Structure 1
Amino acid sequence: MTSTVTVRATEVVLPAAVEPSGLEVRTRDLPQPAAGQVVLRMDATGVSFAEQQMRRGKYYDQPAFPFVPGYDVVGTVTAAGPGVDAGMVGRRFAAVTKVGSWASHQLIEAADLVPVPDGMDAAAAETVVVNGITAWQMLHRIAKVRAGGTIVVLGANGGVGSTLVQLARHAGISVIGTASPRHHDAVRALGATPVDYRDPDLYARLRALAPGGVDAVFDHVGGAGLTRSWSLLRKGGTLVSYGTAATKDDEGNSQLPVLLLLARILAWNALPNGKGAHFYNFWAGRRRKAAFRQRLAEDLTQVLRLVDEGVLTPQIAARIPLAEASAALELAESRTVAGKVILVP
């Protein structure tokens, strides 16, 4: 049954390349859901590194300004368009949107929704949507590290990093994680051995902890340090690069750091050294929409199950109202918190 109730949505808008204080809050009436669409009321969304780059105009393929950011969302279906199962109304789902989720309500394709277990806290589920899928796919679909192996996770206190640590430990993998000293207790509590990422002898310390090399390095930093991450691998090991944080403040073409990184990875993979390098792209394969959706749903369902079973502990840095998105973005960019900053209604 199609709803005809007009929904007034509150949205946070990125008007241009601005400081966090430049975000704008607007309201608008949503159109009625079209065939295959639903209205999703936001219960929790979050601040990821993508939004931090988008507000600078530095994200690889972001839309033109102005737009509503928000990479993922957990929410409740309040209305269904033609052809959508009416039983979805009133139930909680998660979705990856890339943009658009910093809003009280949004229109979304019903096929993009993944059920959230009954009774699960929305903020807890939100912490593992993009972060959980990313960590799961990098560990299990790309690196394929087996029990008994050892990995290095750069930024082990972050949203993806803390999830990676927990997934690896659950799989019987030893973890060495970099973080600032203020987060070492938290990293240790997750089951990893912490190392100060600012230590001038960082890579020597990492090698000392795994003198035979490691099975995988997960590197979101990129830049000059990527070569040193590559050097930590044992024969048969895998480097998974999934970001270029080292170049986040660089001026110029936002695509250049990624293109240079891809060229370096291709060169390494051409060498007969028995090691592999990969650049993780969350959206790889999206042109085959049905297969992409199925893979995403399978992996997120696995991660949400582990949260529901208490295996994964969501790392929530703070819960901040949507209208205070500027403060949430500033907090996320301060690098003083562990886990994910969550926006709530």
Structure 2
Amino acid sequence: MNAETVADAMTEVVLPGVVEPSGLEIRVCPAPEPAAGEVVLALEASGVSFAEQQMRRGKYYDQPPFPFVPGYDLVGVVARTGPGVDPSLVGRRFAALTKVGGWASRVVLPVTDLVEVPGALDPADAETVVVNGITAWQMLHRIAEVRAGGTVLVHGANGGVGSTLVQLAMHAGIRVIGTASPRHHDAVRALGATPLDYRATDLPAKVRELAPGGVDAVFDHIGGDGIVDSFRLLARGGTLVSYGTAATRDVAGSSKLPVLKLVGRLFLWKLLPNGRRTHFYNIWAGKRRPAVFHDRLRTDLGRVFALLADGSITAQVAARIPLSQAAEAMRLAESGTVTGKVILVPDPAPDASGAH
């Protein structure tokens, strides 16, 4: 029997500790009640981001104590509203950033966190550009501010953020060099970028062949020692935008130290009189000013949704997997074999006989 047939119940995926994907737990619990200013979203889609891959290893910088429900973002329909919330929101589709908590069939959120999804968009398609779209848009347009005619280097151009970033840059008239494993080069090329093998020992030289004067921006989610090459590949006036520490995902030890070392290195580079800029992007940094944070969230994601709705960019859905099979979704996302984002969707409802 599907868990959602239980009255007033919901299904959630729990990360109990540092476990393999098979260690994720599926739990049925009472459906949440919205408080004043809150809504309950009925899940339509949530993604498997790199953040969850780090979290299951205990390696995400500021993850909560175990156990907790992962899920960095989601798309869903308002099922219930709390006191003080417009009841006409029920039945309308919204997206939200959560950092954790999105892998559940019902999620309580402040109404201020919601960004409306255009009605024509498929929920899973929209989900691919929530955290990925905001991240890519803000890094490209708010931080690096690369203009049409420029050239950028996108590491991991086949990934969730990377594939979105490539498309946004191409739409803005920016030339893209994208790194990926050879198996993904056709997919990267189809997005409009020039693919290079990220494992090539002469990668910097290959980038220099394509951009002899350096690139206007490098978007680096890898961190580690390779960040040095990313910095050196910048043209004068270029910007290195670092937004992750993938290189240390499987390295034992502190979850905070790799980030702190990376931020420290970027800060020191800022002091060099070489005309290059560095920035560590954290999507949550703006929450110190909530009104500005939410305004930018709605504005930037709204722009990305509009581009998705009119076909200027396309959703990169690697797979759609039922919520109860989150372990399979995690394994697939970590396999390195897919382009785009693995999406969790609601489990199918049983038919009248109780069978799926």
Given the two structures, how large is their TM-score scaled by the length of structure 1? 0.98
Distance, in Å, in 1 between the alignment partners of 2:18 and 2:32 is 28
The answer to whether the 8 Å contact 1:216/1:238 transfers is yes
SS in 1 for 2:84: coil
List aligned pairs for 1:75-94, cutoff 5 A.
Answer: 75-94=76-95
**Counterpart position of 2:318:** 317
Paired with 2:198 and 2:105, the residues of 1 have a C-alpha distance of: 37
Shift of 1:275: 0.4
Amino acid at match of 2:325: E
* Residue type of the alignment partner of 1:18: V
The alpha-carbon deviation at position 319 of structure 1 amounts to: 0.3
Question: Match of 2:178, as an amino acid?
Answer: G
Cα deviation for residue 287 of structure 1 reads 2.1
Structure 2 Cα separation of the partners of residues 284 and 33 of structure 1: 27
Partner of 2:71: 70
Please give the alpha-carbon distance, in whole angstroms, between the structure 2 residues aligned to 1:148 and 1:116: 31
Cα distance in structure 1, aligned partners of 2:52 and 2:318: 16
Find the aligned partners of 2:87 and 2:68 in 1 and give their Cα distance. 30
Q: Secondary structure of the residue that 2:205 maps to in structure 1?
A: helix
The aligned counterpart of 1:169 is 170
Question: Aligned partner of 1:208: which letter?
Answer: E
Question: What is aligned with 1:260?
Answer: 261
Change (3 A) 1:27 1:146: same
Pairing of 1:1-345 with structure 2 (within 5 A): 7-345=8-346
Q: Kindly provide the CA deviation profile for residues 74-102 of structure 1, in whole angstroms up to 9, marking residues without a partner as x.
A: 00001101110111100000000000010
Question: Does the 8 Å contact 1:70/1:99 carry over to 2?
Answer: yes
**Matched-pair contact (CA < 8 Å) for 2:120–2:309:** no
Whichever residue aligns with residue 133 of structure 2, its letter is G
- Separation (CA, whole Å) in 1 of partners of 2:276 and 2:51: 29
Give the structure 1 partner of residue 349 of structure 2.
Answer: none
Separation in structure 1 between the aligned mates of residue 105 and residue 77 of structure 2, nearest angstrom: 11
Please report how far the alpha carbon of residue 240 of structure 1 lies from its aligned counterpart in structure 2 after TM superposition.
0.3
* CA distance in structure 1 between the aligned counterparts of 2:32 and 2:98, rounded to whole angstroms: 18
Deviation, structure 1 residue 266: 0.7
User: Aligned AA for 1:275?
Assistant: R
Q: Which runs of 5+ in 1 are unaligned?
A: 1-5
2:192 alignment partner AA: G
Cα shift at 1:151: 0.3
C-alpha deviations, 1:166-198, integer Å up to 9, x for none? 000000000000011111111111000000111
- The amino acid across from 2:127 in the alignment is E
Equivalent-residue separation in structure 1 for 2:79 and 2:258 (angstroms) = 42
Checking the alignment, whether the CA contact within 8 Å between 2:70 and 2:102 is kept in structure 1 is: yes
SS of the equivalent of 2:296 reads helix
How far 1:208 moved relative to its partner?
A: 1.0
Secondary structure of 2:287's aligned partner: coil
Cα separation, 2, equivalents of 1:270 and 1:113: 39
Specify the alignment match of 2:352 in structure 1.
none
8 Å Cα contact 1:148-1:174 kept in structure 2: yes
Residues 153, 176 of structure 2: 8 Å contact kept: yes
How many pairs align? 340
Offset at 1:227? 0.4
Give SS of 2:52's match. Answer: helix
**Backbone CA RMSD of aligned residues:** 0.8
Comparing 245-254 with 67-76, greater Cα deviation is found at: 245-254
Deviation at 1:271, TM superposition (A): 0.7
Residue 67 of structure 1 deviates from its aligned partner by 0.3
SS of the aligned residue for 1:286 comes to: helix
Residues 9 and 106, structure 1, Cα contact 8 Å, conserved in 2: no
Q: Distance in 2 between matches of 1:215 and 1:285?
A: 25
For 1:56, the aligned partner's letter is: R
Does structure 2 conserve the Cα–Cα contact (< 8 Å) formed by 1:157 and 1:179? yes
